[in-house]
Amino acid sequence: MLYSKKVMEHFTKPKNVGKIEDADGLGIVGNPKCGDTMEITIKVKDEKIADIKFRTFGCASAIASSSITTVMAKGMTLDDALKLTRNDVAKELDGLPPHKMHCSNLAADALHKAIENYREEKDKKE
């Protein structure tokens, strides 16, 4: 079996799919290796991720990685969410095939960008 049970679960029934219309932060990244893209929107309350959604034009691994990233990040402080790496994502999925590890970058990178976007916008207002 190429993919773990958890990857298949999150690929076939992804969590937190969509876009938060009045989002506090937006992160969009493209994967230079395959051209796939990922978008993450977040809602922030008390420096924690109160809500998070994703949309992707990506492969099964990218969808599963994004889904599990949103599950992991929800409720986290922004500082902790910024520390999430592609390895954390892959570990939580019980592993990804080595040639698919780059797909898990999309989710972590888009999450980090959304947090950075939130902080930039907040700085502008202050």
Q: Which residues would be at the binding site for ligand FES (CB under 6 A)?
A: 31, 34, 36, 58-59, 61-62, 103, 106
Of 64, 61, 97, 92, nearest to 76 (Cα)?
Answer: 92
Find the shortest distance in angstroms from Cβ 66 to ligand FES.
10
- Please, what is the minimum distance in Å from the beta carbon of residue 22 to ligand FES? 28
Closer residue to ligand FES, CB minimum distance, 16 or 61: 61
Among the options 72, 73, 103, 106, which is catalytic? 103
Q: Any idea what the Cα angle at residue 104 is, between residues 51 and 110, rounded to 5°? A: 45
Select 34 or 50, whichever has its Cβ closest to ligand FES: 34
103 part of the active site: yes
Q: At 40, phi and psi to the nearest 5?
A: -125, 135
Min CB(44)–ligand FES separation in Å: 26
Minimum distance, C-beta of residue 64 to ligand FES, in the bound complex (Å): 10
| Per-residue CA distances from 108 to 1, 13, 30, 123 (Å) | 25, 19, 12, 23
- Among 5, 34, 77, 122, the active-site one is 34
Judge contact between 43 and 50, C-beta under 8 A.
yes
Contact present, 52 and 125 (Cβ < 8 Å): no
Ranges assigned E (strand) in the chain? 25-30, 37-45, 48-57
Query: Between 72 and 106, whose beta carbon lies closer to ligand FES?
Result: 106
Residues recognised as catalytic? 34, 103
